[in-house]
């Protein structure tokens, strides 16, 4: 695919054309996933970072500078996400090491939820379900299929008749919109 057609597709994506997003996803997925797999040596992490990269690129598509190759832009986004991921991972490791060093004793913890915890969990679940219902039907449906019915991506494709790339991007966007709704309501309390 030549740069002129890619640029035309990017322009269509800037107009919020979902087919353009799906085309860009399909066109650059293998390259981006392969690049990240080489860097991380972990297929799950490579897939997660590739999805986050494409989602961030699609969210910020208006800021794309056509003077540079789209692949280069995607790689720079993915590098920033990798750095963030590894910083967070290292920070968590340091916290675990520090807490282990400070605890010279062992405690046995009852991991069964208390009645209060069960009540809070049920209340939070009701609030979560309500927020999911507030989303557009497409987003609600993919969230329900993936997390409540625990369907695979392929099974979701079969149910919705969407291509795999659309399911992945839709699910990523749905999670992002749901997180925003949760955060917006949390900050209003």
Domain end marker among 75, 90, 105: 90
CB within 8 Å of 161: residues ≥ 6 apart: none
C-alpha–C-alpha distance, residues 50 and 79, integer Å: 10
**Residues 68, 21 share a domain:** yes
User: Does residue 98 form part of some domain?
Assistant: no
**Residues 24, 61 share a domain:** yes
At 16-66, the pLDDT tens digits run 888 888 899 889 999 999 999 999 898 888 888 998 899 889 889 999 988
**Full domain range(s) for residue 69:** 3-90
CA-based nearest residue to 146, from 125, 165, 170 = 170
**Residues 126, 165 share a domain:** yes
The DSSP 8-state label assigned to residue 68 in this structure reads: S
**What does the mean pLDDT of the chain come to?**
81
**Residues 133, 75 share a domain:** no
- Number of domains the chain is built from: 2
- The pLDDT confidence band at residue 114, using thresholds 50, 70 and 90, is low
User: Does residue 101 form part of some domain?
Assistant: no
């Amino acid at each position: 695919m030549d740069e002129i057609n890619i640029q035309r597709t990017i322009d269509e994506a800037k107009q919020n054309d979902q087919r353009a997003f799906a085309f860009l996803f399909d066109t650059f997925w293998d390259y981006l996933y392969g690049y990240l797999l080489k860097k991380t040596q972990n297929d799950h992490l490579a897939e997660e970072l590739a999805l986050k990269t494409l989602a961030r690129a699609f969210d910020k598509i208006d800021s794309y500078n056509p003077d540079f190759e789209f692949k280069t832009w995607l790689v720079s986004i993915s590098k920033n996400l990798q750095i963030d991921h590894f910083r967070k991972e290292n920070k968590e490791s340091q916290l675990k090491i520090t807490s282990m060093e400070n605890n010279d004793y062992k405690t046995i913890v009852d991991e069964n939820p208390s009645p209060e915890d069960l009540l809070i969990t049920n209340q939070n679940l009701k609030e979560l379900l309500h927020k999911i219902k507030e989303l557009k039907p497409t987003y609600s449906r993919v969230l329900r299929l993936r997390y409540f019915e625990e369907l695979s991506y392929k099974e979701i494709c079969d149910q919705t008749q969407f291509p795999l790339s659309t399911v992945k991007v839709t699910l990523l966007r749905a999670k992002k919109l749901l997180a925003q709704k949760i955060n917006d309501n949390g900050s209003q309390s």
